[in-house]
Chains A and B, each alone.
Chain A
Amino acid sequence: MSLFLNGLLRLRRGPWEMLATILIALGVVMLMQPFAMVLFTYSFIVTLVGTVRFIIVSHFPE
């Protein structure tokens, strides 16, 4: 856990990519789930933030 937080603070690709991946996956699940309309409404912004973040952090050093 401390390794993960350390990586985040030092702007390392691994942990930041993992965060972006979680955001994208969460956004897609929110978009297609059949339970709550409010989740569907906010799904696009979550996916968009995750995708943009993924593109940016893939240029961070390993």
Chain B
Amino acid sequence: MSDPLAHRVASATPPQLAHRIRGLSDRTIAWLFVAPTIFLLLAINIFPLIWTIRLSLTNFRTNKPNAEVEFVGLENYRKILTDEDTWIALQSTAHFLIWTIVLQVLIGFTLAYLINKKFRGNDLWTTLIVLPMMLSPAVVGTFWTFLYQPQIGLFNYFIAFLTGADPASFSMIGDVPLAPWAIVIVDTWMWTPFVMLICLAGLRSIPSSIYEAAECDRASKWRQFWTITIPMALPFLMLAVLFRGIENFKMFDLVVQLTGGGPGSTTLLTSIDLKREAFEKWRTGYASAYAVILFVTVFGLASIYVKALNKVKDR
């Protein structure tokens, strides 16, 4: 034993303990290393999930901890799945989810494609484009409420400049038909750079030799784009959609800051609705059932998405 520290530790270990450690198999030692992680996973993820499922079958209310808790079976699930407000919240979430993903993928990929071309000031543009992503959602929500102000908001003046309409004649976060689009615009502004970065990584991973071979075969730029660029960047695009999909399904802070779920319940997304049920109305059992429904939906979607992603990668 050349290392004096190791030698000192070894000699300081009581002989009985040293004998016991020497008797451990590789498998046991591996388990000892993995055990803390498994314990944390069980404590932080699995136990709360099981507890939530259990709560969803009761009428428990957190603000009445001493009240008798009754087992109500699937009653909470029946109430949620026949409630029109919940249905509308899910429709609002679907509108938000679909449009943000479509716009972010289209704009993000286009930006990545342009940034990938070598030009002067390339790095500066990348940094500028990425800036919105680095801001706090609360800050973004607050300053977009100012931009959307009918009297002083720059956004309204910009739209008025393009269309000739009176800037005070519409309110992006006050009008029922416009409010869902207001949150889509802000989320797209904030998170398109994220999609752009992932797409940029995908585009930069394509070897230039493939394009050179295509040039030799006299393939047009259009053909190269559809048969080389898109298929090879597709796994990255799908990954970006997965990340944004999961993130937007649980979107909360930005929308609360921007519209608070209003006007009425036009922008009431499921996460905001769930929070109100759990921590404003204190219907813990009901909110737990709501959370289980959302969990199963996201889990199911993520499962088929990961399967599709693996298929694309294996191609």
Point out residues on A near B: beta carbons under 8 Å: 17, 21, 24-25, 27-28, 31-34, 37, 40-44, 47-48, 50-51, 54-55
A40 to B270 CA separation, bound complex (whole angstroms): 14
Query: Which segment, of B2-10, B35-43, B295-303, faces chain A?
Result: B295-303
**Structural contact, B297 and A31, CB atoms closer than 8 A:** yes
Number of B residues with CB within 8 Å of any CB on chain A? 18
**Given contact pairs A32-B91, A40-B87, A24 touches B300 in the complex (Cβ within 8 A):** yes
Which secondary structure dominates where chain A touches chain B?
helix
**Structural contact, A43 and B300, CB atoms closer than 8 A:** no
The A-contacting residues of B in range 223-250, CB under 8 angstroms, are none
Point out residues on B near A: beta carbons under 8 Å: 77, 81-82, 84, 87, 90-91, 93-94, 293, 296-297, 299-301, 303-304, 307
Which secondary structure dominates where chain B touches chain A?
helix
**Structural contact, A25 and B304, CB atoms closer than 8 A:** yes
Chain A contacts of B297 at CB under 8 A?
27-28, 31, 47
**Given contact pairs A28-B297, A37-B87, A44 touches B81 in the complex (Cβ within 8 A):** yes
**Structural contact, A28 and B301, CB atoms closer than 8 A:** yes
Chain A contacts of B81 at CB under 8 A?
40-44
Partner of A32, one of B84, B94, B299: B94
**Given contact pairs A24-B301, A25-B304, A54-B304, A44 touches B87 in the complex (Cβ within 8 A):** no
Query: Which one of A32, A34, A43, A50 has the highest number of Cβ atoms from chain B below 10 Å of its Cβ?
Result: A32
A27 to B294 CA separation, bound complex (whole angstroms): 12
Residue of A whose beta carbon sits closest to that of B92: A32
